[in-house]
Chains A and B, each alone.
Chain A
Amino acid sequence: MRPENYEAQRHPPSHEYELFIGPNHPGIEGNYAFKLRLHGDRVIEGKADAGYLHRGFEKLMEGRLWIQNLAITPRICVPDPVPMEVSYVLAVEDLCGLEVPLRAQWLRVMQLELSRIAAHLFTFGGHAATTGMYSTMYWGVADRDLVLDLFEELCGGRVYHIYNIPGGVRRDMPPGFTERVANTLDYLESRLPDYDNLLFTNQVFVQRARGIGPISRQQALEWGVTGPNLRATGLKFDVRRDDPYLVYDQIDFEIPTEEAGDALARALVRRSELKESIKIVRQVLERLPSIPGPIRCPIPNPLAWNVPAGSTYTRVESSKGELSWYVVSNGKERPYRTHVRGPSQMHAVQVLERLSVGCRIEDVAQIMFSLDACPPEVDR
């Protein structure tokens, strides 16, 4: 709600009071508000309030050509935009029955995993900052920048890449790119012990994050929790392995899990995932030279492209959880309906509202960041 439309209400005398966190607040992610009712330091009720970043993407996409929508999809979630464009492109390919060349699929995996690394580094920083440890935030953002440099070199865009098109990817790697990716990966891996010292084994953080916002496995399944937050409750599920897309079934990687389900467990799962992602990108770099071939298959004139009628539901594993598109075509040159299901639609609303009840006021921000909620996904 806009401040000018807020009407103060006269309440009967009470020990309870209201506190708005956001939409502009360092303890909130993005343009989002979380309204608390408090008794002393304890939260009695939390209400999520979205809509500050609503751009109406689903409606916009109905009015644009299939190919024009590629410019919209990555903008749905800023820190981790790649899964958005890949899953939309997978949906269009599924509707058209396009066979994507193998090389393009491996390049997509590389792009997805680099994006996961960048997003996790960003989240470490955000999570640490909510406990007052700003060094990790500076480090995380600085190291993420090295991955963004790679993206800039690969496709010209640092944050929004629009690298994928239906049928493949826009361009191949520039010369010498594999070495530079390998160097960056080596550097990031060498940084992990530093991150451990600063954050993951640092008692200041461990004591602060242990037991905060715990989710049991039963609750996680009921509330629709996915991704690292689900794996932090001990369930070994990953869309990449259990509902494979692209060439993930040919890649060797572990699915890290933790048992506790609290903020610390969620942070540790992300830390282990970062390591796995580095492993995956290394495998891609090893395989890519031996995979020749085109990077995209021929597609019809994209400006007059009637995608066959039908509907499809494609899922990918983003850094925050399960991300899916439901795309409906009625055989015209524009989508009839697109619906995006972002993991944060669960994490930032129902899960956050339930976890905040009974916690202390200073833990609210940490719970939100440990869930890795991305409000733009809720708003769309």
Chain B
Amino acid sequence: MSKELSTWLDKLLQELEGIEFRRKSARRLRVDVAPDALPALLELLRGRASYVHLSAISCVDWIEEGEFELVYHVWSYELQSLVSAHTRIPREPGRYISVYDIYPAAGFFERDIHEMFGVWFEGAPDMSKFILTEWDGPPPMRKEFDSEAWVNAHFDWQDYNPEWLQDLVAQGGGIAIPPDEQRFSRRNVDET
């Protein structure tokens, strides 16, 4: 990205209030923005600064602060730079606005975050279950969800010790391949 364009972008970002930005490298820009200003920022980035590609939306559960962090990674094919827009929403009630009308690609990510974290996106076209169709427990990617505790509470452990395994253990266990039959033993490789 040329220097001229980058200062132009920096100026553009200064138009918005309550927004902090930090250049991490020539092609990476981190922006911290309040949740109510984020749609305007994305609108600006897409409409006036050519950031047309939504690469991903990531969600991080900061349970101690009681917040979800949503990160919108957008890429400009022309400026060849990636902006990561970070915003934080309260964990309760965990509602936010969909950006589907700005970036149609957001549909998948919002649906996924809703399923895994329980964040509701207002205005998203489809918030139905996708991967965890038959799951009725809490959203599993939340930090308070402990997979192991859930397994212990819902399933029984069983001992698995079939006869063939006992035989194998009695013979000393494992499978030994003689050196001549190993395909890439040092000796075979050196000969070729």
Contact = CB atoms under 8 A, between A and B. Distances in A.
A224 B77 contact: no
* Chain B contact residues, majority secondary structure: mixed
Given A337-B60, A346-B105, A58 B141 contact: yes
A326 B73 contact: yes
Interface in B51-100: 52-56, 58-61, 71, 73, 75, 77, 80, 82, 84
B140 A59 contact: yes
Interface string A35-56: 0000000000000011100101
A59 B147 contact: yes
B141 A222 contact: no
Contacts of B84: 313
Q: What is the size category of the interface that chain A forms with chain B?
A: 35 or more
B105 A313 contact: no
B120 interface: no
Contact of A326 (B56, B104, B130, B183): B56
B131 A224 contact: no
A306 interface: no
A350 interface: yes
A1 to B, nearest CB: 5
A327 to B, nearest CB: 10
A341 interface: yes
Interface in A152-169: 152-153
B71 A326 contact: yes
Interface string A1-39: 110010000000000000000000000000000000000
A339 B70 CA distance: 12
Contact of B55 (A58, A60, A242, A324): A324
B140 A345 contact: no
A346 B107 CA distance: 9
A175 B189 contact: yes
Given A242-B80, A346-B105, A350-B107, A328 B134 contact: no
Contacts of A54: 131-132
Contacts, number: 100
A60 B141 CA distance: 10
Contacts of A345: 108-109, 112
A157 to B, nearest CB: 12
A222 B141 CA distance: 28
A58 to B, nearest CB: 7
B17 interface: no
Contact of A152 (B54, B80, B184): B184
B52 A174 contact: no
* Chain A contact residues, majority secondary structure: mixed
Nearest to B142: A59
B54 A224 contact: yes
Given A313-B73, A324-B55, A379 B131 contact: yes
B187 interface: no
Contacts of A339: 56, 58-59
Interface in A68-108: none
Interface in B1-60: 27-28, 52-56, 58-60
Given A346-B105, A346-B108, A224 B53 contact: yes
Interface in B133-150: 133-134, 140-141, 145, 147
A221 interface: yes
B52 A336 contact: no
Interface in A287-341: 311, 313, 315, 322, 324, 326, 328, 336-337, 339, 341
A199 B108 CA distance: 34
Contacts of B189: 153, 174-176
A324 B56 contact: yes
Contact of A341 (B55, B104, B133, B140): B55
Interface of B: 27-28, 52-56, 58-61, 71, 73, 75, 77, 80, 82, 84, 103-105, 107-109, 112, 116, 130-134, 140-141, 145, 147, 183-184, 189-190, 192
17 contacts: A1-B134, A49-B133, A56-B140, A59-B141, A174-B184, A175-B189, A176-B190, A224-B54, A224-B105, A226-B53, A242-B77, A243-B75, A243-B82, A322-B55, A339-B56, A350-B107, A378-B131
Given A313-B28, A345-B108, 15 more contacts: A1-B133, A49-B130, A153-B184, A174-B184, A222-B104, A224-B53, A224-B103, A243-B75, A313-B73, A315-B82, A324-B73, A326-B58, A337-B60, A345-B112, A379-B131
Top 7 nearest A-B pairs (CB, nearest first) are A224-B105, A341-B56, A51-B131, A326-B58, A339-B58, A337-B60, A54-B131
